[in-house]
Amino acid sequence: MPPDRPLWIFDMDGTLTEAVHDFGWIRSELGLAADAPILDSIASASQERRTAMNRRLHEIELELAAQARPAAGIHEFLALLKQAGHSLAILTRNKHEIALLTLQKAGLAEFFESEAIVDREMAPPKPDPEGIRFHLNRLGLNPGQAFMVGDYRYDLEAGRAAGAGTIYMDPTGAFPFRELADICARDFLELMEH
């Protein structure tokens, strides 16, 4: 197991669950450029366009949540953390209801209380570290007592900015954002052996 810290904050899609998001297709569906940041682009759109884009994004997120499957080794890993008395939390760029549906479909709902989920409406989306700070303040912990676990640079950048440890999950083993990570693993079985 990695070093012992009382708080483990997880990204959801592609971290707790297998990656199913095709962000290029999502951008196309929303009428965005191929490299446009989705949430930032929606936020800066006109009110009418923002409403339409948010509606379509919600439909897409519901479809993807219905397909959620747990990441390799995640059940065993979360059970081990829970048994050891660690606090488990989520920081997601999804909405709260999508996060709850995703957890249910992936069979992970038993590990996370609703109040342990910070979504994009409760704090600025990652890479902003505010969601991590929210979890730390909620539990009365300092950044050195937490890990941020994710599969993309936004997760790792948020963790670094908050002062938390960072764990980078990449099933391909390529780890293109390795410089932002304290620990790298292909899956949670490998992380348990770290």
- Domain assignment present for 2: no
Q: In the prediction, which pLDDT does 150 show?
A: 98
Q: Which residues of 153-185 are buried (b: 16+ CB within 10 A; e: fewer)?
A: bbbbbbbbbbebbbbbbbeeeeeebeebbbebb
Q: How many domains does the chain have?
A: 2
Q: In the prediction, which pLDDT does 102 show?
A: 96
Cβ-proximal residues to 163 (8 Å cutoff; 6+ apart), any chain: 142, 143, 144
Q: In the prediction, which pLDDT does 2 show?
A: 58
Domain closes at, from 32, 48, 66? 66
**Same domain, residue pair 77 and 60:** no
| CATH number of residue 74's parent domain | 3.40.50.1000
Q: In the prediction, which pLDDT does 94 show?
A: 92
- Domain assignment present for 152: yes
Q: In the prediction, which pLDDT does 35 show?
A: 85
**Same domain, residue pair 86 and 140:** yes
86 and 6 in contact (C-beta within 8 Å)?
A: yes
Residues of the chain with pLDDT under 50: none
Helix (H) or strand (E) holding 124: none
- Dist. CA 168–CA 1, nearest whole Å: 14
**Same domain, residue pair 28 and 105:** no
Q: In the prediction, which pLDDT does 37 show?
A: 87
**Same domain, residue pair 62 and 73:** no
Domain holding 36, by residue range, is 23-66
**Same domain, residue pair 97 and 44:** no
Q: In the prediction, which pLDDT does 111 show?
A: 98
- Domain assignment present for 90: yes
Q: In the prediction, which pLDDT does 4 show?
A: 79
| Residue 93 to residues 3, 40, 69, 179, Cα–Cα distance (Å) | 27, 11, 18, 22
**Same domain, residue pair 55 and 77:** no
